[in-house]
Chains A and B, each alone.
Chain A
């Protein structure tokens, strides 16, 4: 099985080729509605999360948030 090495939140990880950002979010047990994703420094619209599959050496940032003041 081909894998791609990507940078995820500053760490190198291997993911299956073809795996989408949406798959990655779900694999981490996160709700896509509470995650902001930056792919190669571009903020990804939530409607595109299941259409983009990171390639070798891509850089992903997954940002989450909680409420408060």
Chain B
């Protein structure tokens, strides 16, 4: 099953936000939001909180899987609206959230996304602008947070998409929340959008670590969650598709002799397939340029040597 439409999944899990940009609610004795979303989903999010009668006073934690603007953009708003929320993130993410340049960039990207999506810059008088995020608890690899009712969240460092990335795993439930540490499924779920933007080596190493986990449900922060046979094999399948994608980029550069052309081609392909209107082409081009350069220089397999 692939659930992309926001809704109540079961007694312990709610899919919030939009199809393109999700946040999850984990429910135990206390609750946790997973994912910080982008500002433009706030209106839908607040509507869902009201419609599904989510008691935000029970929500103690907000886990941010990594510091990219589409995964933390709504956090400053949520902290303004619900000051009791405790933000959890990796040490690297916590550092980014207080760096003036990173905060400035996130603010610019957030405003651009709001404009692109036709959304206003505030919700009920509260600004949606990005600002410094104070992380209440810095997470380290192997840390855990007990939500009660058998909901024990484990955190795994999973760099590769970004240096600051962490994945949340519920061992008893076998639920995985990789944020963007795992390529995104599109079309029939067997097509993947590669997210190894920071380093292919780190990304593959992270996948090798995640491969030790049993997965019955995988909940991305884009395009919802999946259960079933495909998800039980999702880690090795993403790994193989990542290796093949890296090789494809390399071949493209070798044939064209042009890193920039390959980066432009990859960015166009990515945006056409995902239909993400909230990511400007120049941002995607920058991401793809880095990925193409990494595909050329990073060594992973025997063929790369």
CA distance A41 to B240 in the complex (A): 12
How many A-B pairs with Cβ below 8 Å?
90
Does B291 sit within 8 A of A, measured CB to CB? Answer: yes
Residue-wise interface mask of B (228-242) relative to A, using a CB-CB cutoff of 8 A (1 in contact, 0 not)? 111001001100111
B residues with CB within 8 A of A = 161, 183, 186, 188, 190-197, 228-230, 233, 236-237, 240-242, 244-245, 248-249, 251, 265-267, 269-271, 273-274, 284, 287-288, 290-291
Q: List 5 A-B contacts (CB under 8 A).
A: A9-B190, A66-B192, A67-B249, A67-B291, A69-B195
Chain B proximity of A41: nearest CB distance (Å)? 7
CA distance A68 to B236 in the complex (A): 19
Residue-wise interface mask of A (28-40) relative to B, using a CB-CB cutoff of 8 A (1 in contact, 0 not)? 0000011010100
| Contact call B270/A9, Cβ cutoff below 8 A | no
Residue-wise interface mask of A (19-49) relative to B, using a CB-CB cutoff of 8 A (1 in contact, 0 not)? 0000000000000011010100101000000
Residues from chain A with Cβ under 8 Å of B267 in the complex:
67-68
Q: Which of B191, B228, B230, B287 contacts A66 (CB 8 A)?
A: B191
- Known interface pairs A33-B248, A36-B244; A66-B237 also in contact (CB < 8 Å): no
Residues from chain A with Cβ under 8 Å of B228 in the complex:
10
| Contact call A38/B194, Cβ cutoff below 8 A | no
Residues from chain A with Cβ under 8 Å of B191 in the complex:
63-66
